[in-house]
Amino acid sequence: MSTKTTQDDYSDRYAARVHGMAQSEIRALFSVASRPEVVSLAGGNPFTAALDMDELGEMFARLLAEDGAKSLLYCPGQGDVALREQICEVMALTGIDVTAGASPDDVVVTVGAQQGLDLLCRVFLDPGDVVLAEGPTYVGALGVFQAAQARVRHVAMDDEGLIPAALETAIAEAPTRPKFLYTVPTYQNPTGVTLSESRRQEVLEICDRHGLLIVEDDPYGMLSFDGNTATPLRARRSENVFYVGTFSKIFAAGLRVGWVLAPPAVRDKLVMASEAAVLCPSTFTQAAATRYLTTMPWQQQVKTFSTLYCERRDTMLAAMSDHFPAAMTWTHPGGGLFVWANLPEGLDSKAMLPQALAARVAYVPGTGFYADGSGAGQMRLNFSFPPGDEIREGIRRLSGVINSAARL
């Protein structure tokens, strides 16, 4: 029989990189937030219940019947070529096409965008290297940077995304020349903010001038609420921009299929690093993604997701205006999954979380999205997963918690 203990008999044996690893705020929240009585605004899941499960069931059955043996073998470490071709067609819709130098040869299929980020860090980062990232930034990227023992320097952002002058300052003040800028320019996680068109150009020019590589992470670009699509940085620049994509938010996160677009020399390194880590990404889920893209109305499904999330965003923003104190501000995302809220002066989202959980509502404290301890006055709220009535009730409960904390 196993007994649970908090004592760690291996503490003096771990590799140095383990000491910087911390449980993410989100993972720590999962067990409490998933209790049925809690309205969780803490997650980041797509609403996969909006997929047509009968159609998908048939698709998977056909895949097994027609291609079962092959799709249950290993595949090349770079990923299946039929899927890489489809990925190029998906990217072409965003402007990353052949004229932007994108070809299936340059695509490396990964176990979600997350492995794409991990591979780029394995290939480019030594311990102590500096990485620039928006402040706040994606918590999972911070985990990868930590595991790579990199030093993160945040670049301030506002409603138009990262601020070019702040990028210049961060480059100038970095203790060593930064290895790359990590950015989520469209419907960012956690803020929902999009880098404006004019700033995209400026950011590229600054990075060019300083010889700074860019890792562009774009899981949400297609989830636009108003039909406007921002042009990825990679569509404007084939040099020095590594593009990370994923099917997690436009199809299904559980398939774990993503990709990196990189020029041949870097691609080869990424493939070697991936083979060392996982041999190859799942042949079966790659085959499923290929079938999905070639036989199902996937663009229609992306519209279905976007329409649903747009309604839920509207519900959340309306509930926030109705209930939150006047001293609060928040973002108005044009797409994606998240709203980012600023608490009244002096309130601490991390300290307030136990009260929120007691009031049966969960969010992610802002501190999880910074490497430097900032973010206490902020929180991330998810609107893609909970239905409208839960969103309204969650915001109502949360406003009660905020109002009582503000009175203390």
Judged by CB under 6 A, the stretch of 82-90, 107-115, 165-173, 291-299 that binds ligand PMP is 107-115
Nearest-angstrom CA–CA distance, 324 and 318: 10
- According to DSSP, the residues that pair with 161 across neighbouring strands are 158
Of the candidate spans 158-166, 245-253, 296-304, 316-324, the one that interacts with ligand PMP by CB under 6 A turns out to be: 245-253
In the bound state, the residue with its beta carbon closest to ligand PMP is 112
Query: What would the two tokens of residue 157 be?
Result: 């952002």
Binding segment for ligand PMP (CB under 6 A), chosen from 79-87, 108-116, 201-209, 340-348, is 108-116
What is the SS3 assignment for 108-120?
EEECHHHHHHHHH
Considering only 219, 281, 365, 366, the residue that binds ligand PMP (CB under 6 A) is 219
Give the number of other CB atoms < 10 A from CB of residue 379. 31
For 329, list phi and psi in degrees, rounded to 5: -130, 160
Angle between the N-to-C axes of helices 164-173 and 197-210, in degrees from 0 to 180, rounded to the nearest 10: 20
CA distance 17 to 158: 33
CB nearer ligand PMP, residue 257 or residue 402 = 257
Q: Which of residues 50-79 bind ligand PMP (CB under 6 A)?
A: none
Structure tokens at 36: 């049925």
Q: Does 161 bind ligand PMP (CB under 6 A)?
A: no
Q: What is the dihedral of CA 391, 397, 400, 401, to 10 degrees?
A: -100
Q: Which stretch binds ligand PMP (CB under 6 A): 71-79, 97-105, 246-254, 277-285?
A: 246-254
- Provide the minimum distance between the beta carbon of 217 and ligand PMP in the complex, in angstroms, as a whole number: 5
Residue 341's DSSP bridge partners are 330, 379
Our finding on whether 44 is near ligand PMP (CB under 6 A) is yes
Residue in 189, 306, 315, 367 binding ligand PMP, rule: CB under 6 A: 189
**Segment 254 to 273, residues that bind ligand PMP, using CB under 6 A:** 258
- Amino acid identity of residue 93, one-letter, is L
Q: Between residue 114 and residue 133, which ones bind ligand PMP under the rule CB under 6 A?
A: 114
Q: Of the ranges 21-29, 68-76, 111-119, 300-308, which one interacts with ligand PMP (CB under 6 A)? A: 111-119
Measure the CA–CA gap between 215 and 258, rounded to whole angstroms. Answer: 14
Which residues contribute to the site for ligand PMP (CB under 6 A)? 44, 112-114, 138, 140, 184, 189, 217, 219, 246, 248, 253, 258
